[in-house]
Amino acid sequence: MVEPGLIKAAQAGDRDALITLLREIETHVYRTAYYILNNEQDAMDAAQEALIRIYTKIGSYEEKAQFKTWIQRIVTNICIDKFRRNKPTVSIDEHELVFREKQNVEEEVLSAYALQDIRSAIDKLPEHHRTVVVLRYLQDFSYNEIADSLDLPLNTVKSYLFRARQQLQTLLQDYQKGGVRG
């Protein structure tokens, strides 16, 4: 949580305050980029670009928005716009999900999923679904905060998050059963 006083000072042109502020948020910015892009180098690049943008645009931040959602909006936009990669993501089809879920009910395995599996499953989600999951779990954002960050309606945020979780579950079960990763 960044001190409001620090933000004000940075906006008033105190360069040291602005640099201090950037140091405080750099990890949060990086973390989001890392899980959206699933690649350390891309995440470093995107996070740096986001910090530069925050540096130059600090004057346009208005208090009516939360500072943390303003930051996350900047970094997620950069991740989505600039590093959009044309890689295949799975389609999210609700009917299929429900159907498969029922089939799998009895094959439940209670051990935790492997970290690598979770990461590669997240990486398979469509960008917006992935971004919502990252903000929910890595930034601990509420529905409203996610909606503010991504400029999406609240219901869309919920729908993305719920579908994303179902999709992740399906993918992870596939990994566990078949060992087919990717």
Cα angle 89-95-101, degrees, rounded to a multiple of 5: 85
We find the least distance from the C-beta atom of residue 2 to another protein, in angstroms, to be 14
We find the least distance from the C-beta atom of residue 43 to another protein, in angstroms, to be 8
Helix (H) or strand (E) holding 63: none
How is residue 48 written in tokens? 């740096």
Contact with another protein (CB under 8 A) among 8, 82, 85, 119: 119
| Residue 101 makes contact with another protein by CB under 8 A | yes
Residue 54 CB contacts under 8 Å (≥ 6 apart), including other chains: 22, 25, 29, 71, 74
Site string for another protein, 23-62 (x = CB under 8 A): x--xx-xxx--xx----x--xx--xx--xx--xx--xx-x
Dihedral sign from CA coordinates of 114, 80, 153, 100: negative
DSSP state of 102: H
In 22-162, beta strands by DSSP E: none
Contact with another protein (CB under 8 A) among 42, 123, 126, 162: 162
Contact with another protein (CB under 8 A) among 143, 156, 174, 176: 143
Measured from the CB atom, the residue of 118 and 127 that comes closer to another protein is 118
Task: Please list the alpha-helical segments (H only) found in 83-126.
Answer: 94-104, 115-124
We find the least distance from the C-beta atom of residue 18 to another protein, in angstroms, to be 9
Residue 119 CB contacts under 8 Å (≥ 6 apart), including other chains: 35, 38
Measured from the CB atom, the residue of 60 and 91 that comes closer to another protein is 60
Measured from the CB atom, the residue of 86 and 103 that comes closer to another protein is 103
Distance of alpha carbon 20 from alpha carbon 149, whole angstroms: 23
Residues that bind another protein (CB under 8 A): 15, 19, 22-23, 26-27, 29-31, 34-35, 40, 43-44, 47-48, 51-52, 55-56, 59-60, 62, 98, 101-102, 105-106, 108, 110, 112-113, 115, 118-119, 133, 136-138, 142-143, 151, 158, 161-162, 165, 168-169, 172
